[in-house]
Amino acid sequence: MQADHQTISYGQYKFIIDNVNDIIFQTDSLGNWTFLNRSWERAMKYTVEDSLRTPFFNYLHPDDVEKNYQLFLPLMDGSKAYCSHEIRYLSKDQDVIWMRVYAVLLKNAEGVTIGTSGTLCDITQEKQNQEMIALLSNNILDIVAVHEIDGTYKYISPSIFSATGYQEADLIGRSHFDFVLPEDLEMIKKYHTNLIRSKVGEGENVTFRFVTKSGGYTWLEVVPKLIINDLGDVVGLVTSSRVIDVRKKAEEQLIISSQKERELNQLKSSFINMASHEFRTPLAIIQSSLELVELSISASKDDSKPTKKHINHIYHEIDRLNSLIDDVLITGKIESETVVCSNELFDLVDLVKSAITVIENTQPDNRKSTLTIKGNPRQIKADPVLMKQVLYNLLTNAFKYSVGKKPPQVLLSFTPNEIKISVRDFGIGIPEDEGRKIFTAFFRASNAGQVKGNGLGMFITNKFIEIQNGNIVFQSLKGNGTEFVVSFPQ
């Protein structure tokens, strides 16, 4: 080793010294630089030549000059053999450069102090990182914690105070289980055990109630991450927690309101159900009484026209009330999503023909509609009960809104991918600006006038088609008529 030292030249020393990262310095007893390596230039932007023989305190940050003096005192009065501290310098560009100073006194053979020697290490980046971490952990609302494998707190960010009222020191060294609300403790213990066992880096979020210093609790959502060493063993965990009281409260509120809404809906459904059925008995009484009146009139040979007319009105209104009850019941079922829909193959042509016959038979003006079939008829896969209702509604409307005009036309078309039913009438049509609303419950077009209806027919029709995965569109011109086209992909 001795031989190696002797063989290193001055040039080699200079190269090594100039290329170490730290600044190596010497000062005289007055504090003037007497030696600086080239690292000084890299950090401070001053040349070594310009800096030598100038006092080192000229390069200190003005605010740190006094502090630096105080830190040097123990070294100068001999109470310490060296000094080590962090201090700010100002570069030639006026940038703040944080230096970690390590200095010792230089003495001559007589023991008289002739200066200092040491190193300056540029720790600006490190300081900036520390400041950033401090800024983050002091200002973010999330709580960051480091735990031992058993849950003991090793570190917790200051944000724990604003969240729970505890200081960091209150938690360090204690288990996080000590702060879990008893009702949630079993769940959290199980979660913790499973997480540690899983050895999977990141665990799923968990929410629980953390007991605050005041004795209440706050809801926390915790995202854990396991610390796994090189051997693959779990040695601890890092958690990031967030206060979610507002969210939890909103969730609870939402649950309560949706429960209330469900209860109200249920109440509404049962009311509609009960009321509708209860309407039927009085209607049955009116109907049967009327039939008895009719019988007694015909027995007494009093078949005067006005009496017959009024009896027919009553019959008609019974039918109308009865279909309103049916529609209200169906609407209730649609709204409570309890409509049962089967998916079976049946003959659509037969169903359309029979629907046309039924509806034609109720027309006082004896109009008969025309049925055209295009393509090769085949069975349709849908619900025959719902489909019958759709056809009844479309045909009833087509006749009802075209009294005095030519009869409605029905077109059935079968293409390879689709089956279409078109019901066209030549009646009053739907005003253009009202078209969007016709599938809404209780909507009646402004030009419906004296034509009776409850505004539920098209709502039900549309829903029944929707439930069967079909589609309904219409074209209408006020005064010219309307065409509804129902299509089912097959």
Partner 1 sequence: MTTLLLIEDDQVLRENTRDLLEVFGFECLVAQRGEAGLDLLEYIKPDLIICDVMMPGFDGYQTKQEINKDPTTRKIPFIFLTGKSATEDIAYGFAIGACAYIIKPFKIKDLVDAITTHIPKTI
The alpha helices in 199-304, defined as continuous H runs, are: 245-299
Return the range that interacts with partner 1 (CB under 8 A); candidates 282-290, 410-418, 421-429, 474-482. Answer: 282-290
211 binds partner 1 (CB under 8 A): no
Please choose, from the candidates 184, 179, 143, 134, the residue with its C-alpha nearest in 3D space to the C-alpha of residue 161. Answer: 143
Tokens of 34: 């007497």
Select 386 or 398, whichever has its Cβ closest to partner 1.
386
From CA 312, how far away is CA 334, in angstroms rounded? 33
* Binding residue count for partner 1, defined by CB under 8 A: 23
CA 427 to chain centre: 49
Q: Read off the amino acid at residue 24.
A: I
Q: Which of 277, 316, 320, 378 binds partner 1 (CB under 8 A)?
A: 277
Please report how close the Cβ of residue 270 comes to partner 1 at its closest, in angstroms: 13
Interaction between residue 288 and partner 1 (CB under 8 A): yes
CB of 350 to partner 1, least distance (A): 21
329 interacts with partner 1 by CB under 8 A: yes
HEC assignment per residue over 98-137: EEEEEEEEEECCCCCEEEEEEEEEECHHHHHHHHHHHHHH
Structure tokens at 357: 């016959």
d(CA 219, CA 245): 5
Give 298 or 372: the residue with its C-beta nearer to partner 1: 298
Among 283, 311, 411, 467, binds partner 1 (CB under 8 A): 283
The CB-of-288 to partner 1 minimum distance in angstroms stands at 4
**Segment contacting partner 1 (CB under 8 A): 94-102, 198-206, 276-284, 430-438?**
276-284
Residue 295 binds to partner 1 (criterion: CB under 8 A) = yes
What are φ and ψ of residue 14, in 5° steps?
-60, -40
Using DSSP, state whether 240 is helix, strand or coil. strand
- Which residue, 54 or 342, is less far from partner 1 as judged by CB? 342
For the chain, the farthest-separated pair of C-alpha atoms sits apart, in whole angstroms, at 154
Cross-strand pairs, 36: 25
Cβ proximity to partner 1: between 264 and 284 the closer is 284
Q: What number of other Cβ atoms are within 10 A of residue 56's Cβ?
A: 20
What is the number of alpha carbons within 13 Å of residue 244 lying toward its C-beta? Answer: 18
Amino acid identity of residue 178, one-letter, is D
User: CB under 8 A: which stretch of 22-30, 60-68, 197-205, 284-292 binds partner 1?
Assistant: 284-292
| Pick from 276, 394, 269, 279: nearest CA to 339 | 269
Least distance from partner 1 to the Cβ atom of residue 360, Å: 19
* Residue 276 lies near partner 1 (rule: CB under 8 A): yes
- Closer CB to partner 1, 238 or 358, in the complex: 358
Q: How far apart are CA 225 and CA 234, in angstroms?
A: 10
Question: In this complex, which beta carbon is closest to partner 1, that of residue 226 or of residue 456?
Answer: 456
Any residues with CB less than 8 A from the CB of 341 and at least 6 apart, and which?
Answer: 383, 386, 467, 468
Binding mask 331-350 toward partner 1 (x if CB under 8 A, else -) reads: ---------x----------
- Helix/strand/coil for 242: strand
- CA atoms of 251 and 247, how far apart (whole Å): 6
| Whether 437 contacts 446, CB under 8 Å | no
Q: Which amino acid is at 381?
A: K
- Per CB under 8 A, 251 contacts partner 1: no
**Beta carbon nearer to partner 1, 19 or 296:** 296
Among the residue ranges 226-234, 258-266, 272-280, 365-373, the one whose residues contact partner 1 (CB under 8 A): 272-280
Work out whether 287 is an interface residue with partner 1 (CB under 8 A): yes
**What's the token pair of residue 427?**
């009646």
Asked if 322 interacts with partner 1 (CB under 8 A), we say yes
* Shortest reach from residue 275's CB to partner 1, in Å: 11
Which tokens in the block code for residue 420?
A: 């279409």
- Using the contact rule CB under 8 A, the part of the chain among 140-148, 217-225, 242-250, 317-325 near partner 1 is 317-325
Q: Tell me the per-residue interface mask from 356 to 385 with partner 1, x by CB under 8 A, - otherwise.
A: -----------------------------x
Q: Which is nearer to partner 1, 148 or 326 (CB)?
A: 326
Report, in Å, the least distance between residue 281 CB and partner 1: 5
Member of 48, 318, 349, 441 binding partner 1 (CB under 8 A)? 318
Find the binder of partner 1 among 102, 279, 346, 443 (CB under 8 A): 279
- In the chain, the amino acid numbered 336 is S
Least Å distance between CB 468 and partner 1?
16
Question: What is the binding site for partner 1 (CB under 8 A)?
Answer: 276-281, 283-289, 291-292, 295, 318, 322, 325-326, 329, 340, 385
